[in-house]
Each structure stands twice: as C-alpha cells, then as structure tokens.
Amino acid sequence: MSGVRAVCGVGVVVGLLMAPSILLAQQAPGYPSRPVRMVVTFTAGGTPDAIARIVAGQVERQLGQSMVVDNRAGANGIIGTDIVAKSAPDGYTLLHVTGSLVINPRIYRKLPYDVFRDLEPVTNIVLGDGYLLLVHPAVPAQSVKELVALAKNKDKPLSYGTPGIGNTLHLATELFNVRAGTQLLHVPYKGVAPALNSLLAGETQVIFIPPTIAVQHVKTGKARALGFTGSKRWPLMPEVPTILEAGVQDFEITGSWHGWLAPAKTPPAVIARIQAEAKKALQVPRVREFLVAGGYEPDGSTPEEFRKFLKTESARYAEAVRAAGIKPE
C-alpha cells in the first residue's frame, strides 16, 4: 500500500505542476485565431508607444499571431480608451494606457465611458522609478535651486511642455509649482514626443519626462538634467540628485505605470491568457533590460491585483489634482 500511496502522491504533485498549463490551454481554446489590435492612447515615438511595442512584439512571438499597435492619441488618452471601451469584448481589441486612465475622471466632469464599469483590467506592465527634470541648454540654471529662483521671476516666465492636460507629467509639474513656489507656464501637446521636441527646439524651457527617451538627449547636450523625482537617484544617472535632495520639500513621484485592459465582459479565460503571456514576455531578458534601462520595473500583476492597484491610484491622483488646484472641466 505504501508503494501505491507513493505513486499516487507523485501523480498528484505532477498533476499540480502541470495544472496551470493545462488550465491555460482549456481557458481560451483557439484564441487568438486572428491579429490582436493593441490601442495605444498616445502618439508613436513616445514612452507608452515604445513600451507597448516591445512587450506586444514579444507576446506576438509567443502567440504566433500578430499584435498590431494602433496609436490613437488625443484628449489625454480619452479617444483611444473610448475606442476600446466600445469594442467587442472578444480579446481582439486591447488597451495600453498610463496613469491618465485614472486621472481623467478627476479632471473632466463627463467621460464617454466609466473606467471601472466599461473596462476589464488585464495586467500592469511596468511601474516607473520616477521622472527626469530637464531644461533646455539655454536656461541659465545648473541646479534645481537655480531653476526655482528663475521660475519665480514673473517678468521672465518659463514654460513647460506635457503630453496634455491632466497627464501624469502635467500633474507632476503642477505639484512642483506648488511645492517649490514656482510659476512655470503649461503648454500642452499631443503626446510625449511632441512635448520633448518642443524643449529640444527651445519652444519650451522645462519638462518632466520618463528617462526612456531622455537619456540620449542629455548625453548629447541637447538637454540638461537637473533632478530626478524618485525616492532615490536613478542608477543610470547617479550624478543627478533627487529633487528632494535638491531642497524641494514633500516632492517625490515614483513615476507612471503602463497597463493593459480589455473591454468589459471579455471572457475571463481570454483575460487570463493575455495576462499569462504578458507576464512571460516581461521575463524575457531583452524585454526586461529595455524596460529597466528606461527606469521601469516589469510587473505582470494578475487582473485582480491590477484592479486593486487602479483603485488605489485613482484615490492618489484625486489628492494630487486637489493639491495642484486643477478644476474639473
């Protein structure tokens, strides 16, 4: 009998080890059988686009089916989000979005969708370490302290660019205005890339931006990095102090996140399949190295974990909007 028990015990263990893959195969039979559309709510060339493309590209290889990135920029992500919220809940239209998803309900009185009713969380792709504070080389500031002094001069106002009203970068800069007592003027653009280009061209003088697309411009002298918003210095630029270190009290922002969602009522089996493939993709060395180098930590959370995270973020940004004095439009 002991031998039978041992054999049975081994069988149970093997069964448990195999269960996830067996269940996954049963969860979404035949999915996907055609190309999957990934709607990115910001323009091509920016950080959201870069992250979406490298992760979706790896998922594409794993699925053996195309993942087509569709950039639908505008209205701080509202246009692209609305497209997905109103799409068929079959897993063939997905959404790649940033923290703007939970910010928009705080700054717009009426949206064409409800974040928690019309969308289904899939997974959080990455968490950001923080943002770099950049200035144009013509700005006569070599430190955050010097920038603060310049930005308090009403006679010579400095402007900053963002991907749009209510974007995480907009809130970060408005919080900087509050904490540092500055009066930087906001110039919204339609995406991260146009906002960064405005700085490089000298049209605006200041920008808070994810490190991903900023490093090369700092290294070539086209922009100057004065500070980092995270709790500790960014490892790839250890010479750049945190803004807290630079003397701006109560100013610490860990950076944005990037997540995937699907239309509400998408079958749980399909949601589980997408989440599993995304998590697997995030463990691929070339993908992980790209994300980490850009100042992001790969995540891959479960749908339920991501839902709880979205609720927490929604409350956090509500506080940030109040602190920045932004009135709903």
Domain ranges of the chain: 35-128+256-324, 132-228
**Across all residues in the chain, what is the average pLDDT?**
89
Which residue in the block uniquely carries the two structure tokens 């055609």? Answer: 34
Q: Do domains 35-128+256-324 and 132-228 have the same CATH topology?
A: yes
DSSP track, 241-293: PBTTTTT-TT------EEEEEEETT--HHHHHHHHHHHHHHHTSHHHHHHHHH
DSSP track, 76-113: GGHHHHHHHHTS-SSSSEEEEE-THHHHHHHH-S--SS
What would the two tokens of residue 77 be? Answer: 């992500």
Contacts of 285 (CB under 8 A, 6+ apart): none
Average of pLDDT values for 223-245?
A: 94
pLDDT tens digits, 26-53: 456 799 999 999 999 999 988 899 999 9
pLDDT tens digits, 72-92: 998 889 999 999 999 999 999
37 pairs with which residues across the strands?
68, 93
CB atoms closer than 10 angstroms to residue 327: 7
| Beta strand extents in the chain (DSSP E only) | 36-40, 67-71, 93-97, 119-128, 132-135, 159-162, 185-188, 206-209, 224-228, 257-263, 296-298
Which residue in the block uniquely carries the two structure tokens 């930005």? Answer: 151
Percent of the chain whose predicted confidence (pLDDT) is above 90: 69
How far does the chain reach from its first CA to its final CA, in angstroms? 74
Superfamily of domain 132-228, CATH level 4: Periplasmic binding protein-like II (3.40.190.10)
pLDDT tens digits, 257-303: 999 999 999 999 999 999 999 999 999 999 999 998 877 899 999 99
Superfamily of domain 35-128+256-324, CATH level 4: Bordetella uptake gene, domain 1 (3.40.190.150)
Q: Are 95 and 119 in contact (CB under 8 A)?
A: yes
pLDDT confidence of residue 295: 78
pLDDT confidence of residue 27: 54
Q: Distance (Å, rounded) from C-alpha 136 to C-alpha 79?
A: 31
Q: pTM to 2 decimals?
A: 0.74
